[in-house]
């Protein structure tokens, strides 16, 4: 990094290829074949590999800007992957599974499944219009990055492993107010 550059701009003065070469992005994200694969249930592919790669991001970006960069890159990959997903009638959205115990930003994931499976998931979600602190945080950052046409659906549930939390971000044009999916 040039000493005259700030950490906030240094990463974007390089090309997208460098994000993958420096292991800043989970390698599977670059290969979009996952978007047109067949799924019996669903799959979630992380943008970064837990917090190992988060430490690498800190070398190139100010910590307060990392989450915004993840949202921008996740949307970039999302729009290309969506083209592949539609070929197999797969629904693709960006998800977050906030860890309520740590202070790191939630990692974006690519959630993919058949449209019918996602509709069944939506039927099971009881508090889909909840507005937790985590949901508001994610929504605020999407809007600050210019991605305002997303609907956010939140699912919080308890199982034998403890409390689980997933936030879905879908383009508004894919989901109606009564949770019907169309694309």
CA neighbor of 1 nearest in space, from 17, 25, 20, 18: 18
Task: Give the pLDDT band of residue 100 (cuts 50, 70, 90).
Answer: low
Stretch among 50-59, 60-69, 89-98 having the lowest mean pLDDT: 50-59
Tell me what pLDDT residue 30 has: 77
Mean pLDDT of the chain: 80
Tell me what pLDDT residue 145 has: 94
Q: Identify the residue with better confidence: 18 or 130.
A: 18
Give the CA distances from residue 41 to residues 52, 115, 177, in Å, rounded to whole numbers and listed in that order.
Answer: 28, 11, 24
- For residue 167, which phi and psi values (nearest 5 degrees)? -115, 125
Q: Identify the residue with better confidence: 134 or 52.
A: 134
Task: Give the pLDDT band of residue 118 (cuts 50, 70, 90).
Answer: confident
Residue 16 has pLDDT above 70, yes or no: no
């Amino acid at each position: 990094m040039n000493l005259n550059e700030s950490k906030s701009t240094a990463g974007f003065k390089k090309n997208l290829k460098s994000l993958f070469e420096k292991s800043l992005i989970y390698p599977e994200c670059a290969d979009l074949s996952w978007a047109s694969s067949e799924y019996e249930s669903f799959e979630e592919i992380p943008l970064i590999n837990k917090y190992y790669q988060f430490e690498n991001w800190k070398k190139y970006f100010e910590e307060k800007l990392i989450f915004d960069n993840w949202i921008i890159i996740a949307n970039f990959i999302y729009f290309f992957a969506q083209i592949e997903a539609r070929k197999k009638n797969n629904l693709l959205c960006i998800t977050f599974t906030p860890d309520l115990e740590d202070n790191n930003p939630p990692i974006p994931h690519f959630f993919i499944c058949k449209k019918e499976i996602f509709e069944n998931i939506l039927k099971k979600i009881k508090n889909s219009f909840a507005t937790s602190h985590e949901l508001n945080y994610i929504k605020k950052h999407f809007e600050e990055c210019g991605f305002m046409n997303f609907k956010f659906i939140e699912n919080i549930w308890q199982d034998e492993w403890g409390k689980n939390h997933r936030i879905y971000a879908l383009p508004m044009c894919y989901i109606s107010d009564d949770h019907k999916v169309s694309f």
